[in-house]
Each structure stands twice: as structure tokens, then as C-alpha cells.
Chains A and B, each alone.
Chain A
Amino acid sequence: MTKPKTLFDKIWDAHVVKQKEGYPDVLFIDRHFIHEVTSPQAFDGLRKRNIPVFNTKRTTATADHNVPTKDQHLPIKEALSRHQVETLRKNCAEFGIELYDLGHPFQGIVHIIGPELGLTLPGMTIVCGDSHTSTHGAFGNIAFGIGTSEVEQVLATQCVLQYKPKTMRIEVNGNPGRGVLAKDIILYIISKISASGATGYFVEYAGSAIEALSMEARMTICNMSIEMGARGGLIAPDETTFNYIRGRKFAPQGEAFEQQVKQWKQLKTDEGAAYDKVLTYDAADIAPMITYGTNPGMGIRVTDRIPTAEELKEISEKTSFSKSLEYMGLEPGTSLLGQPVDYVFIGSCTNARIEDLRLVASIVKGKKKSPNVEVWVVPGSKQVEEQARKEGLDKIFESAGFELRSPGCSACLGMNEDKIPAGKYCISTSNRNFEGRQGPKSRTFLASPLSAAAAAITGKVTDVRELL
């Protein structure tokens, strides 16, 4: 009998072109996504070496990080940003790569469009010059972020050189309580294992609480794998996965699809396969979560107090802890409930899919935002935006005083026009609360779309369960 394998090992092993003693594995990449920020230097490399793209059909491009979310039909105002997007256009035309540019009906945040177009499928290897490529792992594939030198490797050879990471299984069982979303589950996990706790590992999420999630919620979970240091995270595909993929634009259709499903059903970890590490959590312990510090591991249940330095496990973390609280303008040992916020950002590859927007709308319907907050709702893609309008969510947002913008990364990363001003507090559905992430000196509270919506109504950090 062959040795039982984890799902991760099965997919990895099936993609190794060459293995050589002392060398990293040569890993074949099925699907490559690129965007304007991390690709220009890679194309330059191809030009310098005078080589073409290895297989243009395996790469798809979009513009998302450095684009405005207002007046997208007009030329980009800021010269450097405009140049970067134009460079992407020029490179895609020159090398023959499909580009979903601003204004295209498929444009959007790279990790949102891949799945919604059926480009992201089970069993694949997927890379992108962006750490949240882990999002795609929700479909049962190996997806991870790479640097620009590696983008060049993939363009040139459709392969990357990689060392096989260790495997970790994170199981969440049971029923999460009221008002607890996938975002809360993952923020809870990260708060338990820290921002570096999974470095060197590839995570498989499992357990009844994970299986019960929709595809969009599973994407939220896998998306934040990188925030605990993991290369990526994946979830074994099941009927939920197949139903999501069925009929998507670039997915196999008809009989071909049914054949694929038969193969995809094999994509699971064998009974008795060994992981390097296994962690188990009870969903009942999870409540709506919020971060108080400047890395995503600094999260608490919204009803808990911020810890004090004495309560920290590792003494070495104390300096970083005080520096972090000072940056945030918060006191150790206090509660965040009632803390006023200035901005609410609903968007990013973590939480800007249609289900997220529906959840937000379900809470704000018929209500108005608090006058002290500015609220931005930034859909993850053109298709999400269209769908939201079709369902009349735009009207709900409008009458609540929320601003519905055009798709892009927006205030997730403080690169484009959308930035949170210095010293202001933003409750955000994105994935990083690093110093200055949303703009110089901006202060971020990471939370779920429901918690963000609740704060939009009350103007302060709120336990969303009070509004349900």
C-alpha cells in the first residue's frame, strides 16, 4: 500500500517537474495572475533576456492595486499610477497576455476575479505576485504569493523553484455563535497562533465549522493564511465547491465539467496521513473579533479587554506591544467597545464579494450611518458591483449615506487615492492593520463586514450581536 498523503502533498507532488538532491523542487504552475504593481520589473527581465512568455494562456492580468475607485472611465490623475497601469497594458499587449483592464466587465481585485471567472479550480497550482494569493486555496488547490523575480520565472518558464513547506492542519469544529462570520473565525485563529505562528507551513483547514461555510466565506479564511505567516491555506473541495464552479465563464462546461468533478472528488487527505502540526479549535469559543494593534495577531473578542503587557506570553513581544498601542492611541487593559471610529472601509480581497455586501446591506437596510463616520463600500470586482446594483443593494447603501465606489484594492493598502488620514480610526474588513497600511499614521481595526456595518451605524466599535 502506498503511504497516505495529505491533500497538499498530492497536489504538490503532481506538479513537480524535477526534483534534484540539494536543489529546490521545480514546480509547474497551472495558473498565474499578474497585476500592475509587481509585474513591470518581471517583464523588463524578459526583455533583457530576449525571451517570450512561456505559455500566454496560463497568465491573466488585471489592474487593481493602484487604480482610483472613482471616475474609472477617466484617465488616472496621478502620473506615476497612470504610468504603472499603462505599463501593464503595454506589457500585456507586447507579450500576448489577456488583460482585464479598468472598464472591462471582468476587472477587479485579482483574488476575487480568478474564482468568479472559473479560472481558479481544484487541484491546481496558482501563483501571483501578491501574498493574498492564498485566497484561491479555498477551492482545494495550492496557491501562494511570490515576489517579482519569481513572477519573471513563471512568465519565462511556467515554473517556480520552491522548497516544500511543512504541513499544518487547523480544524475548527462545532457551531459558531450568532453574528460570527468566517472573518471572525480566521481572526480568532491568528490571535491564537500569532502573526508568525504558521511561518514555514502550508495550512489545510478542516472540521465541521469550515465545511459548513460557503465558498465566499472559505475564501475569507484562506485569504488570511498569510497573516499567520503561512505560505498558503487550502480546503478540500466538496459539493459546495463544485456547485460554485459549475457554469462559471472559464470553467469546464457540460460533460467535461462532470468528468472533472469525478477527479476533483479524489482531492482529499488520505485517512492516516500525517501533518507536521495539528491544531484544533471549538467554534463555540469564537465571538465577533476585532484587532487592537498593528499586526493581525493582535486580535480579541470584541467583548474582551485589550491585554496588558504582563498578560503577554512572550516577554520579547513587550516592546513591540507598547509601540503598537502607542501608535494606535489605545490603553492596555481597556475595552474597545464604544471606541469612536472615523472611517468604515468595506472592501478588499478578504471581504468584498457579493455575500459580504449582502450581509452589510442586511444590517443597514432602513438605517442611516452615524454622522461622525465616512463609509466606503468598495466592491471586489465589476461583476460584484453589477450584481449589487441588480439586487438593489446600491440603493440601501445610498440611503444609509454609504459611498459605493468602483472596484479596486482601494483603502486596503494606502497606495492609490483612497487613504485614511493620519491619526484617524478606520474599522476595516481588509486583512492588515500594519502601521500606515491604510495611509501614513492611519489606525486600523480589522473586523468582519457585519461588525464594520454595525460601527457604521453607531459610529463606534460595537458588538454587532446587539443589532441582530
Chain B
Amino acid sequence: MSKEKFITLQSTAVPLAVENIDTDQIIPARFLKATTREGFGENLFRDWRYDVDGKPKAEFVLNKSTFSGKILVAGKNFGCGSSREHAAWALYDYGFRVIISSFFADIFKNNALNNALLPVQVSDAFLKNIFSAIEKNPSAIIEVNLENQFVKLPDGAKESFEINPYKKACMINGYDDIDYLLSLNSEIKEFDLTQ
């Protein structure tokens, strides 16, 4: 089934300089009760965003009007912990299309790529540059170019990132894995019989 296509994005970014952000923080388990994919953005970072009474916490970055955009920039080992794809759905539903970090947990990376959310891994040093660029100027426009695989800051600083060619093609064309797997149906059937 086709998904939103991703080629390049220019946007302001939201900085969240915390390491080891696990999927329980991205979306706590008690909000996983829905049986559809939509609506999880409401509870994105729920317990960091709201206090126990549901009041927004002013100091959390998503509640600061200074920062907005389709890019989330986060500390290393983003998306560790639970395999819940709801984390990717919540980030996407909230409006993010790119997550930049210096390291991603494996399952999260797959989940994101399967949901038109691009995980971009940059070096620790470049991540620092991004954070300071946003800090200096919250309306700094960051370019994430998937086609040519680079991230560019307003001052021209650039770093390239890696992505598997197959996944890149899926993102650019809006394909998903099942389309490919379904095309192999008869080969898989034969394989199943030998098991």
C-alpha cells in the first residue's frame, strides 16, 4: 500500500538533547490500547509533556512555542526498549517526518522506515552542531535531502548519512515491504513445504 513519498525536506527542528530515549517515553504503554494507527500523536512524550493532572509542562520542548518543525533532533540511542511501532506512529502523527540522532535502536529504525518516518544517523560531532545551530536560531532551516543523502545546516555545514538503497527506494517511492514480499508468494510457498 502506498505511503507518503519522501524526497527532501526543509524545516525548522525541535531539539531534545536527551540520550537513551526509550519507546516507553515516546508513548507510554497505557496509551497503546487503540486498535488503529492514528491519533497517537496526542500522547507523544506524554509524561514529559504533561504532568499527572494533564497540565502541559512549560519547560518541555514540545510545549515551547519557540521550537517547532517536522524534524526532531535527539540524543544518542533513540528508540531503545519496547518494539512498539506505536512510537513511530506517534511521532509521525504529531507531524515529525525526520528524526536525527547519533545512534538509533534497531527495531525503532525499522519501524520508522516502515512508516515514512526517516531516521537520520549523524556523527556525535555533527549532532552537537545541529543542537547549537537550533539553540542559536530556533527558526534555522535544516535540509534533509534523502535523494543525495545529506543533512545541511543554514551555515552550509553538511554531513552525509547512510541508508540502505532498498529502504531509500521504498521511502522515495512510498512503497512498503509487503508489496515486495507478496510478489515472492510462490517462492515462499515452496520454501514453506521444505520446512
Contacts and interface: CB of A to CB of B under 8 A. Distances in A.
Given A22-B165, A149-B176, A441-B47, 5 more contacts: A83-B33, A87-B35, A157-B182, A432-B82, A435-B25
A18 B187 contact: yes
Which interface residue of B35, B47, B115 has the most chain A CB atoms within 10 A?
Answer: B35
Given A196-B76, A435-B25, A440-B52, A147 B83 contact: yes
Contacts of B32: 37, 66, 415
Given A163-B164, A436-B28, A196 B83 contact: no
B34 A199 contact: no
Contacts of A432: 22, 24, 81-82
B188 A157 contact: yes
A406 B66 CA distance: 49
Contact of B106 (A26, A81, A148, A199): A199
Interface residues of B, number: 55
B84 interface: yes
A24 B47 contact: no
7 contacts: A17-B191, A37-B32, A147-B111, A149-B85, A161-B181, A199-B80, A414-B29
A196 B47 CA distance: 23
B81 A149 contact: no
Contacts of A81: 33
A340 interface: no
Contacts of B68: none
Contact of B77 (A28, A130, A229, A422): A229
A190 B86 CA distance: 26
A320 B176 CA distance: 35
A390 interface: no
Nearest to A296: B81
Given A38-B84, A49-B1, A231-B106, A437 B192 contact: no
Nearest to A22: B165
A443 B10 CA distance: 40
Interface of B: 1, 17-20, 22, 24-25, 28-30, 32-37, 47, 52, 75-77, 80-86, 88, 103, 105-107, 110-111, 114-115, 124, 164-166, 176-178, 180-182, 184-185, 187-188, 191-192, 195
A200 interface: yes
A194 to B, nearest CB: 9
The 9 closest A-B pairs by CB, nearest first: A415-B29, A40-B35, A147-B85, A147-B111, A80-B33, A149-B114, A145-B83, A131-B83, A196-B77
A19 to B, nearest CB: 12
Interface in A119-155: 129-131, 145-150, 152-153
Contacts of B114: 147, 149-150
Nearest to A198: B106
A72 B17 CA distance: 43
Given A316-B19, A415-B32, A51 B188 contact: no
Nearest to A21: B165
A131 B107 contact: yes
B18 A435 contact: no
Contacts of B29: 65, 413-415, 437
